[in-house]
Amino acid sequence: MLKNDKEKEKILITTAIDYANDVIHIGHAYEKILADSVARYYRKIYGKENVYFLTGTDEHGTTNYLAAKEENMSVEEYTRKISSLDRKEIDALNISYDRFIRTTDPDHVKTASNLFEKALERGDIYKAEYEGFYCEGCEEYKTLSDLDEDKKCPQHPNKQIRLLKEENYFLRWSAYENALRELIEKKDDFILPENKKNEMLAFLEQGLNDIPVSRPKYKVPWGISVPSDEEQIIYVWYDALVNYYTAAKQKDMWNEKTKIIHFVGKDILRFHALLWPVMLLSLELPLPDTIYAHGFINLKGKKISKSLGNVIRPSDLVKKYGVDAVRYYFLKHGPITEDVDISIKHLEEVYNADLANGLGNTVARIAKMAERSGLSFEPQEKEFVWQAPWSAPISKFRVDLALQNIWRMLTDLDKHINENEPWAIEDQEELKNVLSKEVYQIRKISLILEPFIPSTSRRIQEQFFKDRIRSEEPLFPKL
């Protein structure tokens, strides 16, 4: 259980929403699988109705506008198409979101515009002239120290950095510097993992300048208008961050009784840890409890990108290896704290070792012996063992360590089988005694696997939660 969780009644879990300029690839998909397994876990503890899991697409701003133009499509049509393709990718991974939000959804447009107007009324947003370097890939103003020696954005070396001078609305970011520092220092789990917390504190040390939260419409024609000023468009990041509030508010889940957890990639932590809280503070709205920033996935030592031509879609992996193999691989070996390097070869090795030989083999062995014994194994209650030692790492969202614990239980179970040699036991009572222990243990493991590999978990449950256990097709055929 998490600290301070006793007073929380509900859980809100979000992923970042993806730009609708291109369909998501496995790099983006990791975050969905991670958040999904945590959401499924919390549903077991808090009840299905008390957990809300949100994902979606970020559809406004220059990036999406230019991508649509390149395809000769209207931006409405283009973002609708990408959004629905993204959703297919996410569905292929069996992601149990409660809402797939699009920032073009009417309720979101209304909410973003309302919040902006309220901040304007309170004086935390004001109009002024601005000059600065803008990266259209990041949709963000850059300081000189953010840029390479040749004044290029490190994330977007192919894009021209532009010096913009324009009238914008500004958020009084500088006024919240101390509040932010205090928040990050005092609230233990506000930023995870720990090293990311220090990064944010270091950024604050440089001091905050007020930040533009609008762009002139003649430069960025695609977005939500500033309510009282039709010439200005709300900055895409201000708009996008509000999506969490839009969806949660409707379910009465943006409040002190809800534990709010944002999963994001490390590249957008600054927006979530430093900008979003200020937007909320300026409106006196509750803050998120945890912002978890994971690393990046590289493919055989290279960044995954369209321009490098090494993009892999989640649905392609799922077609080849099955949804749970893909989920397992990324949950166990994904960039939970640091960047990771993956390869298809590594995925296949892990599949064979952990799934075909590990879990699959142990399940098959026990089923075969139970069937052969002719004995009956009355199913125990499906009592959950969610707050047991195996799950302790989940309090810090370390699903990889939780899986390690479960696989250790599988190894112990295998050891129990090898040491007791049920196949050689002739005494029926003794055989029943030994096999019952093993059947009980595999039933227990099948239950706790549910948040991570739900389809496999259900298959094992269907096979084992009955009196007469039978052998079935292998869970993970060897590659």
Q: How far is the CB of 219 from Zn ion (least distance, A)?
A: 17
To the query of whether residue 152 is one of the catalytic residues in this protein, the response is no
CB of 142 to Zn ion, least distance (A): 7
- CA 115 from centre of chain: 25
CB of 146 to Zn ion, least distance (A): 9
- Toward Zn ion, which CB reaches closer, 89 or 140? 140
Q: Residue 466 is encoded by which pair of tokens?
A: 């009955």
**Which residues have C-beta within 8 Å of that of residue 185, sequence separation ≥ 6?**
201
**Going by C-beta distance under 8 Å and a sequence separation of 6 or more, which residues neighbour residue 85?**
23
| Residue 97 vs 130, nearer CB to Zn ion | 130
Choice between 155 and 395, CB closer to Zn ion: 155
- Contact (CB, 8 A) for 362 and 442: yes
Of 28, 32, 60, 262, the active-site residue reads: 28
Nearer Cβ to Zn ion (156/396): 156
CA distances (Å), origin 315, targets 7, 23, 439: 40, 11, 34
Active-site annotation holds for 108? no
**The dihedral formed by the CA atoms of 12, 272, 217 and 226, expressed in degrees to the nearest 10:** 60
CB-nearer residue toward Zn ion: 62 or 103: 62
Decide the pairing of beta strands 340-342 and 297-299. parallel
Residue 212, strand partner residues: 170
**Cβ partners under 8 Å of residue 118, min gap 6:** 283
State the catalytic residue, choosing from 142, 156, 159, 437: 156
| Distances from the Cα of 393 to the Cα of 38, 197, 239, 295, angstroms | 11, 19, 34, 18
Nearest approach, Cβ of residue 416 and Zn ion (Å): 54
CB of 295 to Zn ion, least distance (A): 18
Q: What is the four-CA torsion angle of 247, 253, 255, 258, rounded to 10 degrees?
A: -130
Choice between 138 and 469, CB closer to Zn ion? 138
Q: Given the rule CB under 5 A, which residues bind Zn ion?
A: 135, 137-138, 153, 155-156
Of 118, 187, 303, 432, catalytic: 303
Q: Give the active site residue among 153, 272, 332, 444.
A: 153
| Cα 316 versus chain centre, distance | 20
Q: Which is closer to Zn ion, CB of 137 or CB of 393?
A: 137
Residue with tokens 């096979």: 463
CB 85 within 8 A of CB 23: yes
CB of 27 to Zn ion, least distance (A): 16
Catalytic residue among 48, 151, 300, 306: 306
Closest CA to 462 of 445, 477, 448, 443: 443
Report in angstroms the alpha-carbon separations of 23 from 80, 88, 125, 261, 433. Answer: 11, 10, 34, 25, 53
Q: Is 156 part of the annotated catalytic residue set?
A: yes
Which of 60, 108, 135, 294 is labelled catalytic? 135
In the bound state with Zn ion, the residue whose beta carbon lies nearer, of 137 and 286, is: 137
CA of residue 476 relative to chain centroid, distance: 26
d(CA 472, CA 469): 9
Most distant CA atoms of the chain, gap in Å: 88
Q: Which residues pair with 232 in a beta bridge?
A: 216
- Residue nearer to Zn ion on the CB measure, 141 or 292: 141
Active site includes 44? no
Q: Is 235 left (phi over 0), alpha (psi -120 to 50) or beta?
A: beta
Q: Where are the alpha helices (DSSP H) in 283-343?
A: 314-321, 323-333
The least distance separating Zn ion from the CB of residue 156, rounded to whole angstroms, comes to 4
Q: Which residue carries 């929403």 as its tokens?
A: 17
- Cα 31 from Cα 14, distance rounded (Å): 10
Angle at 19 between CA 116 and CA 42, to 5 degrees: 85
In whole angstroms, the minimum distance from the beta carbon of 138 to Zn ion comes to 3
Based on the residue annotation, tell me whether 306 is a catalytic residue of this protein. yes
Closest approach, Cβ 137 to Zn ion, in A, equals 4
Is residue 135 part of the annotated active site? The answer reads: yes
Round to whole Å and give the CA distance between 137 and 423. 63
Catalytic residue IDs: 25, 28, 135, 138, 153, 156, 303, 306
